[in-house]
Structure 1
């Protein structure tokens, strides 16, 4: 292989230069663009997932709140039926009439202990005759059996109501010896899903524990009971895994977030089409690939032109050198070019003029010439490298500005001089000529002009960035847009300017407005519930006065006539009749005491409270002195701690302490000597007041009955009392935001604890 073939196989300098220019210009652009696209894709998915999860939790709270009222209503009917007075059934009938009026339930059934319907109420929109259902056997109803077995309120699974065709759920609660069962329609779930449906063709889906749709803005899916149990997101939600998932429905890829409601086990899914969610990234990707292709073509063109400009004088010099090597010293200099090249040409010219007489000196100068050529190459390389770096920096800045999702504009002397594509989209412009050259005040809303003027003045005067703020701008079509704005001092074409970054916050404002409306609706619902509670309190007060006035007169008659019978006819009555008359008098007096205690309990719940510092130790000492004065023959030792003070209502706290001390005094009455203590301690970090005695005590198995009205753990012939005192203590503790509990053992005494905040 000869030297000529070897030279032809080696790459030429011009081709190597072309490839180097292309690699240096294109590879960084593509690498940076791909990394930016991946980061933007991930950030967008995280943002959509977070937004969907927030909306899912909001819907879950609203669904739970919508079930709270019917659940409380059913429980209230059950508690009314548990009362032992004769008017419980009449009050239950009035509540059923209220059910018929307000339509809170589709149906409510009062069921006796054998599972047969004794009364029923239907909503106005249900066309059914109550007489058909009276006497019906519901004993095999699962929710009824569950309530009877567990002794507390139960909820059924979701089913399609035969009366309305809508999804429904049943609540059942104990009601005296029977049960009350209510059917609640779940069409409200679809209304909730319709009200909070997200943008971008998204959906809010409420799914039962069995995977069937029970709430959707497309109600046909609810009526068909569409089953989603096979979907990954539903299985994850049922398992309690809250999160965001990607899946395909009907050939459309979707992004959904799921939240599980712990009270019901239902799921709330908020989903949006994945293509819609990733639309901003797709647009940026299109812009990037268009810019990348344009950059490659431009780089090729610039590299070809640069190669021709840089290498043309060098090629001429190479040709001249070849002629000199052949012995032709008629040197023709190339056209003027770079300074270094021109210096080289001058050197070549001087060398040619002197070569004839100084060929010997030429050998000595070859080394100098080689060094000069190497220096020239280094200078050319350094110059080219600096040019490449400058071009890359400018290209990166241009790509960042043009691909930014935020609007970026530059204004100089009060007029726009630049706008990126996002700014054209924000202002509703088709091309930059519609913005460039126009005063910035043309697009500032009157509400924001004063603030904008102050910010611009500060930017030009201090040349420091101004903080982020909200303002309103006009689009070209006259519509108003809310934006976040930040201003940065800038230099444009050598003149002071300002670069402004704007971000459209219209969706955020709409979301805030939606939240405000939801809060107003919630406040209205609270007011409605407050009105219902006040009505119930007035009915309770009326009932209390009725008990006071309607029952006292017969009791006085019984007591008076019994006494008259004993006084006037005692001599003529059989001897065995006198104990019976005495029992009648005692029973009437006990009934009167029960009425007084019941009214006291009612007053404790309704009386106005005032909070102040109360010396509890002093109160207990006064009570202990009264007990000793009333029964001086009893041997009772009182141990009362000093300095126990609490914040609360003095009257109510005295009633509570009097009931606790009465309890201790009464149940130590059968012991020859006893010990009663009053003090305070700390339990689990909570300050607690206690009253302890060594009297009769009680069986802890019946602790649940201890604080219930009329509940007694001892026979009336053993210890007198009405069973109201401890219920009064519990009401007083609850009104102070505290609680009361007890520990005891039969024959070993009892301790009652009172925690006040």
Structure 2
């Protein structure tokens, strides 16, 4: 009972394993998936905004390129210098984001300039990096960004190689900050555009542009220069920031959307907190419902257990209460039926117990009467027998000279029959005492006991009786064990058909929780058909006139051995000797 488990604990643990744990696992998994999806949506939204700004910047640069190509087309068609200059003046007014426009000849000298500056005409630009780069590649060239001395704004030169020379436009990039401001006006973010060196050339905060703030050492800038687009988390001016950057193909710039990570992921944190609170509430509600259901189930069981304990204490008149469930009602009904049956059995058992006690008293009285009868029978039967034996001896002594040999033989036969009758009476008395009279168990040296029995049987003539190995010291009833060995060894000697040269061997050993002993001889043997019969009362295999025997010895041995909890068997074939084996259980705990 101490190893039994509590049903309340088992049901609670099973509920936790089958409901709460899966619910918590599903909640955690769902929370992770939702968090990941919201993170993806937030980063995608930032990246989409950055892509939109990059498209506007690219469109701005494309318009600038198309405008330069339009100038080249007009300049090729027109042959009059004054018209070309007027066209350029008009064109520069229509494209205000160009600070100036220069038309260079094949030698790199300025032929036309708008707005018109006479002192610039004829100046050689062949040594300028933008001229060299465009001349070497033969394609449009976008120069690095620099600060214009005229406007103080970030500016770059756009150089378009033509058949007559080059068209060079000085593009004012102040509009880039306008793009950043307009794109991020309605969002809690700020936009920025950085060139390939990491310098900010457009930003929602124009101050950073004017200060030529450089982010080239920032890890996200270095990473972004290796890919077309991406979203990163990095420290910007000491603040954890979510950054989405998209490349502008024409110039290699990066258009970025910057947002405080704490602010960007605030909805995620809010959703996570709400979800966690909801999950905890769901788990708490599940626990509450589980405990309520457990109480509904376990309370009737507790009542049933209490009534069961009272019934076990003998209160059979209790009525077992019913519960709220059909199964508990059926259980209570069956238990009530069982209680009534137990009460009936208890009443019957009480009556049987009283009958048994009366029978025990009667049996004890009968045993005492039997003991008294055995004593009286032994005394009253043996006394006449001894008198007959003595009388026959006296008659033989008195009639000594006149008695014939036949009469003398009859007298000896009479005394033999008297001796057999005495032995038979003694054997019957011993058999009746086995199991009723118990002597105390004591340590017995079996080897010493066997040696004493063999000495009592001498003279043995030429028959050899020996102990094989050594016999143990055991705890047993000395008288009963001696009776067993005395009968078995005595029978082996008495019935041996070779008084000279015959052998009787006694052996014994410990086997688990018992001792095994054997008494073996090489005498006439016993046919298998008689192996059971020889253990019955008054059964002998040879006529009593040939060998003196009462037929009680082996029956007595079997009763003693089986009374001790052992077994006895015989292994023999006719003409091959006989081996009697018996076991004697270990009685003292110190022997185990």
Aligned to 2:328: 341
C-alpha contact 1:96 1:120 (8 A) present in aligned 2: yes
State the Cα distance separating 1:198 from its structure 2 match.
7.1
| Counterpart pick for 1:259 among 236, 242, 246 | 246
Change (3 A) 1:332 1:191: same
Structure 1, unaligned runs of 5 or more: 123-128, 363-757
Give the 5 Å matches for 1:19-58. 19-58=13-52
Q: Is the partner of 1:59 in helix, strand or coil? A: helix
Change (3 A) 1:156 1:361: farther
State the Cα distance separating 1:113 from its structure 2 match.
5.6
C-alpha contact 2:199 2:215 (8 A) present in aligned 1: yes
Q: Is the partner of 1:357 in helix, strand or coil? A: helix
TM-score (norm 2): 0.52
Change (3 A) 1:240 1:95: farther
- 1:179 and 1:252 map into 2 onto residues whose CA distance is 46
- 1:154 and 1:231 map into 2 onto residues whose CA distance is 27
Does 1:204 find its partner at 2:207? no
C-alpha contact 2:134 2:160 (8 A) present in aligned 1: yes
Change (3 A) 1:165 1:289: same
Aligned to 1:64: 58
- 1:321 and 1:70 map into 2 onto residues whose CA distance is 98
- 2:19 and 2:290 map into 1 onto residues whose CA distance is 10
Does 1:311 find its partner at 2:298? yes
- 1:183 and 1:332 map into 2 onto residues whose CA distance is 107
State the Cα distance separating 1:185 from its structure 2 match.
0.1
Change (3 A) 1:141 1:281: same
Change (3 A) 1:262 1:337: closer
Aligned to 1:108: 101
C-alpha contact 1:200 1:276 (8 A) present in aligned 2: no
State the Cα distance separating 1:142 from its structure 2 match.
0.8
Does 1:94 find its partner at 2:81? no
Whose relative contact order is higher, 1 or 2, with alpha carbons under 8 Å and at least 6 apart? Answer: 2
- 1:113 and 1:349 map into 2 onto residues whose CA distance is 120
State the Cα distance separating 1:290 from its structure 2 match.
1.6
State the Cα distance separating 1:105 from its structure 2 match.
1.7
State the Cα distance separating 1:41 from its structure 2 match.
1.9
Q: How many residues align?
A: 348
Which structure has the larger Rg over C-alpha atoms? Answer: 2
Aligned to 2:68: 74
| Counterpart pick for 1:160 among 130, 141, 147 | 147
Change (3 A) 1:358 1:232: same
Aligned to 1:269: 256
Change (3 A) 1:327 1:111: closer
Aligned to 1:14: 8
Q: Is the partner of 2:98 in helix, strand or coil? A: coil
| Counterpart pick for 2:229 among 221, 231, 242 | 242
State the Cα distance separating 1:359 from its structure 2 match.
4.2
C-alpha contact 1:78 1:176 (8 A) present in aligned 2: no
C-alpha contact 2:50 2:255 (8 A) present in aligned 1: yes
C-alpha contact 1:30 1:292 (8 A) present in aligned 2: yes
State the Cα distance separating 1:143 from its structure 2 match.
0.8
Q: Is the partner of 2:22 in helix, strand or coil? A: helix
- 1:137 and 1:200 map into 2 onto residues whose CA distance is 48
User: How big is each residue's C-alpha offset from its partner over 1:143-182, in whole Å with a ceiling of 9 and x where there is no partner?
Assistant: 1233344555433111111111111111234567654432
- 2:137 and 2:11 map into 1 onto residues whose CA distance is 87
C-alpha contact 1:60 1:268 (8 A) present in aligned 2: yes
User: How big is each residue's C-alpha offset from its partner over 1:441-473, in whole Å with a ceiling of 9 and x where there is no partner?
Assistant: xxxxxxxxxxxxxxxxxxxxxxxxxxxxxxxxx
C-alpha contact 2:24 2:283 (8 A) present in aligned 1: no
- 2:234 and 2:108 map into 1 onto residues whose CA distance is 47
- 1:101 and 1:353 map into 2 onto residues whose CA distance is 116
Q: Is the partner of 1:358 in helix, strand or coil? A: helix
Structure 2, unaligned runs of 5 or more: 350-592
Change (3 A) 1:251 1:334: farther
Change (3 A) 1:62 1:200: closer
State the Cα distance separating 1:13 from its structure 2 match.
1.9
- 1:210 and 1:358 map into 2 onto residues whose CA distance is 103
State the Cα distance separating 1:194 from its structure 2 match.
2.0
Does 1:229 find its partner at 2:220? no
- 1:140 and 1:218 map into 2 onto residues whose CA distance is 36
Q: Is the partner of 2:245 in helix, strand or coil? A: strand
State the Cα distance separating 1:131 from its structure 2 match.
4.7
C-alpha contact 1:22 1:303 (8 A) present in aligned 2: no
Does 1:213 find its partner at 2:200? yes
Aligned to 1:737: none
> What value does the CA root-mean-square deviation take over the aligned residues?
3.3
C-alpha contact 2:103 2:111 (8 A) present in aligned 1: yes
C-alpha contact 1:37 1:281 (8 A) present in aligned 2: no
User: How big is each residue's C-alpha offset from its partner over 1:522-560, in whole Å with a ceiling of 9 and x where there is no partner?
Assistant: xxxxxxxxxxxxxxxxxxxxxxxxxxxxxxxxxxxxxxx
| Counterpart pick for 1:172 among 148, 154, 159 | 159
TM-score (norm 1): 0.41
Give the 5 Å matches for 1:513-532. none
C-alpha contact 1:44 1:277 (8 A) present in aligned 2: no
Aligned to 2:275: 288
Change (3 A) 1:78 1:343: closer
State the Cα distance separating 1:287 from its structure 2 match.
1.8
State the Cα distance separating 1:37 from its structure 2 match.
1.4
State the Cα distance separating 1:52 from its structure 2 match.
3.6
C-alpha contact 2:180 2:190 (8 A) present in aligned 1: yes
C-alpha contact 1:198 1:204 (8 A) present in aligned 2: no
Q: Is the partner of 1:57 in helix, strand or coil? A: helix
- 1:147 and 1:351 map into 2 onto residues whose CA distance is 109
Give the 5 Å matches for 1:404-415. none
Change (3 A) 1:82 1:284: closer
State the Cα distance separating 1:186 from its structure 2 match.
0.8
Aligned to 1:456: none
C-alpha contact 1:26 1:292 (8 A) present in aligned 2: no
- 1:241 and 1:72 map into 2 onto residues whose CA distance is 24
Change (3 A) 1:250 1:20: farther
- 1:153 and 1:314 map into 2 onto residues whose CA distance is 92
